[in-house]
Structure formats: C-alpha cells, structure tokens
Amino acid sequence: MAGQHLLVPRLEGVSREQFMQHYYPQRKPLVLEGIDLGPCTSKWTVDYLSQVGGNKEVKIHVAAVAQMDFISKNFVYRTLPFDQLVQRAAEKKHKEFFISEVMDNFLIQVTGKKRVVLFSPRDAQYLYLKGTKSEVLNIDNPDLAKYPLFSKARRYECSLEAGDVLFIPALWFHNVISEEFGVGVNIFWKHLPSECYDKTDTYGNKDPTAASRAAQILDRALKTLAELPEEYRDFYARRMVVHIQDKAYSKNFE
C-alpha cells in the first residue's frame, strides 16, 4: 500500500462562482455534491441505454483480464453493437489504467458507483512512469520489491455515487474501479493558453509543446554523454539530475 492515505474533500452546494474563485485555484481534487444533473441519474438504466444505443457498432478495448495495461497493451480492439456492450459492462467490474492528463477534468458519475484513487503530480518520482502511465497496476497490493519507491506516494481516495462530480486537475494520476455498473461522463478543458498545447492534440493525450521540446533536448544531451567512458557518463548524468532539481523545481514541489 502507498504510505499516506488521504480522503478527497467533499463539498455540497458549491456554486460555479465559489468553485472558480476559491477551489479551482488550489489545483487539488474535490468531490462536488448536490449538483442538479437532471433526469439522467435515474433514467440512464441498462435497458434504456441499450434501447437508445441500439445495434450501432462502437470500437472498444477488449482484454482477457479486468485490469488493462496500456504500457504492455494487454488488449485488442473490437467492434461491438452498443446494446451488447452495455449488457456486458453491466456484468463485470472494470479497472481503468493509471494515467495523468494534461487537461483539467470533471468526472461526472451519472449512475452507479466508482472508487477513484489519485496521486499528486508532485509524487511522480515514486510512480514508475512510462510517459503518462504508471507501471504499478495493482495499487492496492503493489509489488514493493519491484516498486519500492511507490510506498512513498501519497494516496488520495474517494467514492463516487450517482450525482457526484469529481474535479481532477491536470497532471493528477488517477485509477478508477467501477464498483457496480454505471455511466460516467468526462468533461475535459484546457486551462493554459492555447499556444501551450499541441495543435494536433484533440483529446489532451500529448505533453504541452514546451515539455515535448525539453524532453527532446534532454534526449540529445544524454546521447552526447554516451560519447564518454562509463565512469564519466555516470558522473555527469548525476550532475545533470542535481542541476535540474536545483533549477527547475519550485519550492512548491518540496
């Protein structure tokens, strides 16, 4: 298990103005209760969705296990009639992969229940990342012999029921488990100036352009160090790490 366990705060009756002025600038997860989502919280049943969606085919991920791994890609793509997809989804729990996004996100739980575990981007060094995804899939019983630093990550957790809205700030890692069949709607938006984002990135899956350039520069620097003998390469790589820590990390990251 991760070291420190924290509950995501829950607030009821928060207005749009209150959220934008007081809570949004804090850049921390928050569950909003009591928001009027309309009749969908009671209307979107399995039968209703099957009837409305009909047999229109949709593309989905299919895996032999409940927990998909988007690093090893233990899944294949299949097309399935929408009504069959809904019926199958109602029969099993589903674990979503552990990932961060570059956009802010409202996870709206319309029906059903979910458990959501989040980790701060400030704990990224403990999460064994490959890109935006973590190698640690079983966060409830992690292999600490393989991932010893994971025990240092602070874990934020909440349960979502019909009508709850979870604010997930950009860069926060999240792992979602459906406790029962339900429908969730994600709303993503860009909070940085438009020039910060890749113009070809519709869904926020790519790093901001400045981060992409920095990664390319770092790759070139490491290739340059490869020209040195191992002892020198190791020494100057460590100096680079210290330099990045001194120059790039703000005091907020302590």
Query: What is the residue range of 68's domain?
Result: 5-195
Q: 83-117 burial by CB neighbour count: b if 16+ within 10 A, else e?
A: bebbeebbeeeebbbbbbbbbbbebbbbbbbbbbb
Q: Single out the residue in 152, 174, 195 at which a domain terminates.
A: 195
Answer with the residue of higher pLDDT: 104 or 77.
104
User: Which CATH number fits the domain that encloses residue 186?
Assistant: 2.60.120.650
Percent of the chain exceeding pLDDT 90 equals 57
Q: Are 169 and 217 in the same domain?
A: no
The terminus-to-terminus CA distance of the chain in angstroms comes to 22
Q: Are 86 and 127 in the same domain?
A: yes
In the chain, the number of structural domains is: 2
Q: Single out the residue in 145, 161, 195 at which a domain terminates.
A: 195
Alpha helices by DSSP H, listed for the chain, are 16-18, 40-43, 46-53, 82-89, 209-225, 230-248
Q: Are 220 and 165 in the same domain?
A: no
Per residue in 181-239, pLDDT (tens digit) is 889 999 999 999 989 998 888 777 788 999 999 999 999 999 999 999 999 999 999 99
Decide if 200 is inside a domain.
no
Q: Are 27 and 96 in the same domain?
A: yes
Q: Are 59 and 175 in the same domain?
A: yes
Q: Are 44 and 149 in the same domain?
A: yes
